[in-house]
């Protein structure tokens, strides 16, 4: 992997996005950390690289196409190129299905699915023009099995990500751009701990054939594999990382 390669990760101020950014950085990428919380993403960037040479923090609301366009312009002005996009940012809610209002449903789907769509559209267009790119969309086990601890709107949005991954993979393949997804099950992360009370954790673990929560750094290493130039023959796929909860 060339040292000149640049990767942008959304929702990177904490949790899985932060871990993914860290693994990309360790693999030699220069990393653009983005998050809707501008102050948090600045702190995250400093904790990964206090020199400021390899990490660029940017405020980005994935629900706004203009934000993606502005972020792309900022990255090109700062580093001159962008080679990898990781669509990780998402809103997670666990409202019972019969209690979800149309407004809440639309908000979650617009951010999670709409944000991934807009990211693929804006950054994918740029990558296609350059003749090279790697896009990795973070899906979820919830989008495959209907969800367990998460809400119907979250599960629906993640299921949609599986589909748009295939759509953009077909659209961009001829231009040297691959588009793949990773569908994690329960990961040892702040999101899972927020959704699953401590007293329910043994029940969750007992339902996982592997008997453990997943590892975020391993997810980050999978992203690194998808991001590599050698991954040119893998596109439109979804890699399952769920401890055996969903097999196909």
Domain positions in the chain: 6-239
pLDDT in tens, 45-104: 999 998 889 999 999 999 999 999 999 999 999 999 999 999 999 999 999 999 999 999
232 catalytic? Reply is: no
pLDDT in tens, 94-143: 999 999 999 999 999 999 999 999 999 999 999 999 999 999 999 999 99
Question: What is the reported pLDDT for 3?
Answer: 59
Number of neighbours of residue 96 by Cβ within 10 angstroms = 8
pLDDT in tens, 200-218: 788 888 889 999 999 999 9
The catalytic residue among 18, 29, 126, 154 is 154
Specify which residues 182 forms β-bridges with. 138, 239
Number of neighbours of residue 233 by Cβ within 10 angstroms = 6
CATH of 6-239, one of 3.50.50.60, 3.40.50.720, 3.30.930.10, 3.40.50.300: 3.40.50.720
Question: What is the reported pLDDT for 198?
Answer: 78
Where is 24: in which H helix or E strand? Answer: helix 15-26
* Mean pLDDT, rounded, for 186-200: 77
């Amino acid at each position: 992997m060339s040292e000149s390669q640049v990767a942008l990760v959304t929702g990177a101020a904490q949790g899985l996005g932060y871990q993914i950014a860290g693994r990309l950085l360790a693999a030699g990428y220069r990393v653009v950390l983005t998050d809707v919380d501008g102050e948090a993403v600045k702190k995250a960037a400093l904790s990964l690289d206090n020199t400021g040479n390899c990490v660029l923090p940017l405020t980005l609301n994935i629900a706004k196409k203009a934000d993606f366009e502005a972020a792309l312009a900022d990255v090109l002005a700062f580093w001159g190129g962008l080679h990898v996009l990781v669509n990780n940012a998402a809103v997670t809610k666990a409202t019972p299905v019969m209690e979800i209002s149309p407004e809440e449903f639309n908000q979650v789907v617009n951010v999670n699915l709409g944000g991934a769509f807009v990211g693929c559209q804006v950054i994918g267009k740029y990558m296609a023009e350059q003749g090279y790119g790697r896009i990795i969309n973070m899906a979820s086990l919830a989008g495959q099995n209907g969800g367990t601890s998460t809400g119907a709107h979250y599960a629906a949005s993640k299921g949609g990500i599986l589909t748009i991954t295939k759509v953009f993979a077909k659209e961009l393949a001829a231009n040297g751009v691959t588009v793949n997804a990773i569908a994690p099950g329960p990961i040892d992360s702040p999101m899972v701990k927020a959704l699953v009370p401590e007293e329910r954790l043994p029940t969750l673990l007992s339902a996982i054939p592997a008997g453990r929560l997943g590892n975020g750094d391993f997810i980050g290493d999978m992203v690194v594999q998808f991001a590599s130039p050698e991954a040119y023959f893998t596109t439109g796929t979804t890699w399952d990382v769920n401890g055996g909860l969903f097999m196909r």
